[in-house]
Structure 1
């Protein structure tokens, strides 16, 4: 297991877990962003649950469950592609850095997980 894989995956776990907590807490910035891109507030628990599941799966991958880590990273890649697409569809480009960063971390975690 490479140091780069561990560092990138831990970073992905932290930021993805953090935004999942913000979804569950209905943080003001989450509510504002979801309203702006047209995601109903009723979807926040589901979206937070998917992000949290991805973070837990990445952690389990680091702990030796390689297939689960790969699946979690792949799931997060798909999830954040969807988030970027929703921002593009809504023409909300000024804060594209957030879903874009989450997507980049998920892609890096996935690529590093499959190369292990």
Structure 2
């Protein structure tokens, strides 16, 4: 297994896990953004759980590749939905934020397929 794949996958998992923890631990800047984007409070825990599951799935994918592919695909869809949510909220300057989190996930998927 190429070292670049492992490093990028662990980075993607760490970033997704951090993003989930920011919601779970009620980081003010995250809650303010979710409120500004009009994301219902009832969704917040589910969104955090989805990101946390994706992070765990990426790490598990280092041992069982199909799990990593599914987790990566799920996270890419999640962050694509986040971009759409930001656009619908007309917060165009915030579009790069979900893309920054999606980039290492896409990189991990690409490196996994290349290996």
Coordinate RMSD, CA, aligned: 1.1
Deviant stretches of 4+, over 4 Å: none
2:74 maps to 1:75: yes
CA apart distance, 1:27: 1.2
> TM-score, normalised to structure 1's length?
0.93
**In the alignment, what sits opposite 1:9?**
9
> What is the alpha-carbon distance in structure 2 between the residues aligned to residue 50 and residue 70 of structure 1?
15
> What is the alpha-carbon distance in structure 2 between the residues aligned to residue 114 and residue 39 of structure 1?
34
* Residues 30-62 of structure 1: per-residue CA shift (max 9 Å, x gap): 110001111012211000000000000001011
**In the alignment, what sits opposite 1:92?**
91
> What is the alpha-carbon distance in structure 1 between the residues aligned to residue 80 and residue 21 of structure 2?
20
Aligned pairs for 1:1-116 (under 5 A) are 1-62=1-62, 64-116=63-115
Task: Figure out how many residues of one structure are paired with residues of the other and give that number.
Answer: 115
Q: Which runs of 5+ in 1 are unaligned?
A: none
Q: Which runs of 5+ in 2 are unaligned?
A: none
CA apart distance, 1:114: 2.3
